[in-house]
């Protein structure tokens, strides 16, 4: 619950800019997979940028397709297979899945899957995160050995109508999206004190997101209700889609939606340094862990959103010490 305006309505913007044109499915393209495949997003995905292989192996091009997607949106496995990679490449979260002779890649995607895990066609493999070369989109790739292929070939002619942003408009769409992201980032930096994520405090608790503290715990004028009210947690500014990490090992006790706090998740950390500690995460786009699940320190438990009574993407962190609501920063 804070004032910062962070409007990443890229999807809406892209949708407005779309000039819809139907292109035929690749004629007679033989399906590459012995198993069925499908789009990695629900609904009718929109191709923001198509596959343009480089003329030479080391040349520049676009080695996949970009599908319009919202931060926090569920990303699905395009076919059954085995997780070949789940981690960070040059700061962006990437998932790769092997399907026999071919491999599909998805980025930026935050996942809790591990290498070697089996996934089914249409299974949720994670959610769209932040980072990557396009904003508000999923970069979907396909490789056979070292060669990059057009992932739309996987659909084997079942692609139906594809909606493409014409090349002439794509640059405008991307420039606009970049400008918005930059403006939002500089607004954050000028308003807030930057904090390092992942640096454990005296009790070994991490900051749950790599973001600035944008509003501290304590009495303040509520930005939406315009009344003096206890701000019952610490706000961390972070773009929608940023990973939320467990600050400390614990067990998920409950997750639910509240009209003010949005999507909430509670972690019980048991007794730490003689103090019973509980934390709560609010306004997330979604959570990736379930009640009863044990989480380790630093594990990705959800993604930043702006659900509930919120004016922009951020995480509202709450801490209870021996059952008493406390200033999170007194403990972190």
Site string for Zn ion, 310-329 (x = CB under 5 A): ------x-------------
Residue partners of 19: CB distance under 8 A and separation at least 6? 165, 166, 169
Based on the shown chain and the rule CB under 5 A, indicate whether residue 170 belongs to the binding site for Zn ion: no
Which residue's CB is nearer to Zn ion, number 80 or number 151? Answer: 151
- Least distance from Zn ion to the Cβ atom of residue 140, Å: 8
Q: Taking the chain, what is the end-to-end CA distance rounded to the nearest angstrom? A: 20
- Least distance from Zn ion to the Cβ atom of residue 62, Å: 6
Written as one string, the DSSP assignment of 58-102 is: TS--B-SEEEE--TT-EEE-SSSEEEEEEEEETTEEEEEEEETTE
Backbone angles phi and psi of 118, in degrees to 5:
-85, 140
Cα gap 256→80, rounded to integer Å:
31
Which residue's CB is nearer to Zn ion, number 80 or number 134? Answer: 134
- Least distance from Zn ion to the Cβ atom of residue 1, Å: 4
Cα gap 302→307, rounded to integer Å:
13
Token couple for 213? 């503290």
Which residue's CB is nearer to Zn ion, number 80 or number 110? Answer: 110
Which residue's CB is nearer to Zn ion, number 139 or number 264? Answer: 139
Which residue's CB is nearer to Zn ion, number 80 or number 279? Answer: 279
Based on the shown chain and the rule CB under 5 A, indicate whether residue 174 belongs to the binding site for Zn ion: no
- Least distance from Zn ion to the Cβ atom of residue 211, Å: 13
Token couple for 303? 């993604």
The only residue of 107, 174, 235, 278 in contact with Zn ion, by rule CB under 5 A: 235
With contacts defined by CB under 5 A, name the span among 13-21, 229-237, 241-249, 270-278 that binds Zn ion: 229-237
Which residue's CB is nearer to Zn ion, number 64 or number 302? Answer: 64
- Least distance from Zn ion to the Cβ atom of residue 224, Å: 11
Token couple for 9? 């309505």
Based on the shown chain and the rule CB under 5 A, indicate whether residue 265 belongs to the binding site for Zn ion: no
**CA distances, 115 to each of 78, 96, 195, 290, 293 (Å):** 17, 9, 31, 21, 20
DSSP state, residue 154: G
- Least distance from Zn ion to the Cβ atom of residue 271, Å: 27
Residues in the chain: 332
Cα gap 89→107, rounded to integer Å:
10
The only residue of 1, 152, 212, 280 in contact with Zn ion, by rule CB under 5 A: 1
With contacts defined by CB under 5 A, name the span among 102-110, 205-213, 222-230, 231-239 that binds Zn ion: 231-239
- Least distance from Zn ion to the Cβ atom of residue 293, Å: 25
Count CB neighbours of 150 within 10 A: 18
HSE-up of residue 210 (Cα within 13 Å, Cβ side): 10
DSSP state, residue 270: E
Based on the shown chain and the rule CB under 5 A, indicate whether residue 278 belongs to the binding site for Zn ion: no
Based on the shown chain and the rule CB under 5 A, indicate whether residue 139 belongs to the binding site for Zn ion: yes
Which residue's CB is nearer to Zn ion, number 150 or number 278? Answer: 150
Based on the shown chain and the rule CB under 5 A, indicate whether residue 264 belongs to the binding site for Zn ion: no
Instruction: With CA atoms as reference, report the closest residue to 136 among 68, 45, 182.
Output: 68
Contact assessment for residue 245 and residue 233, using Cβ atoms and an 8 Å cutoff? no
Which residue's CB is nearer to Zn ion, number 80 or number 106? Answer: 106
- Least distance from Zn ion to the Cβ atom of residue 292, Å: 27
> Binders of Zn ion among 34-93, rule CB under 5 A?
64, 66
- Least distance from Zn ion to the Cβ atom of residue 181, Å: 16
User: 3-class SS at 190?
Assistant: helix
Q: Can you give the binding site for Zn ion, defined by CB under 5 A?
A: 1, 64, 66, 139, 235, 316
């Amino acid at each position: 619950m804070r004032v910062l305006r962070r409007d990443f309505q890229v999807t809406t913007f892209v949708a407005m800019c779309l000039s819809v044109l139907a292109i035929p499915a690749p004629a007679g393209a033989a399906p590459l997979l012995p198993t069925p495949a499908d789009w990695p997003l629900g609904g009718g995905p929109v191709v923001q940028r198509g596959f343009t292989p480089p003329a030479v192996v080391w040349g520049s091009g676009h080695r996949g397709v970009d599908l319009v997607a919202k931060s926090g949106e569920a990303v699905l496995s395009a076919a059954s297979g085995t997780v070949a990679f789940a981690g960070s490449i040059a700061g962006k979260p990437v998932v790769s899945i092997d399907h026999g002779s071919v491999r599909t890649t998805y980025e930026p995607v935050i996942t809790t899957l591990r290498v070697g895990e089996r996934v089914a066609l249409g299974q949720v493999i994670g959610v769209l995160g932040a980072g990557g070369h396009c904003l508000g989109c999923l970069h979907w790739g396909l490789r056979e050995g070292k060669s990059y292929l057009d992932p739309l070939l996987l659909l084997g002619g079942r692609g139906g109508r594809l909606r493409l942003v014409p090349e002439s408009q794509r640059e405008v769409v991307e420039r606009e999206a970049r400008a918005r992201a930059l403006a939002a980032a500089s607004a954050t930096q000028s308003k807030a004190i930057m904090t390092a994520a992942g640096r454990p405090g005296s009790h070994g608790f991490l900051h749950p997101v790599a973001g600035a503290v944008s509003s501290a715990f304590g009495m303040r004028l509520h930005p939406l209700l315009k009344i003096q009210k206890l701000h019952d947690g610490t706000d961390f500014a972070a773009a929608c889609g940023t990973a939320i990490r467990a600050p400390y090992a614990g067990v998920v006790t409950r997750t639910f939606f509240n009209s003010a706090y949005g999507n909430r998740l509670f972690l019980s950390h048991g007794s730490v340094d003689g103090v019973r500690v509980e934390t709560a995460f609010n306004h997330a786009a979604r959570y990736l862990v379930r009640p009863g699940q044990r989480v380790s320190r630093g594990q990705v438990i959800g993604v930043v959103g702006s659900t509930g009574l919120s004016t922009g993407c951020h995480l509202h962190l709450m801490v209870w010490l021996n059952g008493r609501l406390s200033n999170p920063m007194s403990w972190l």
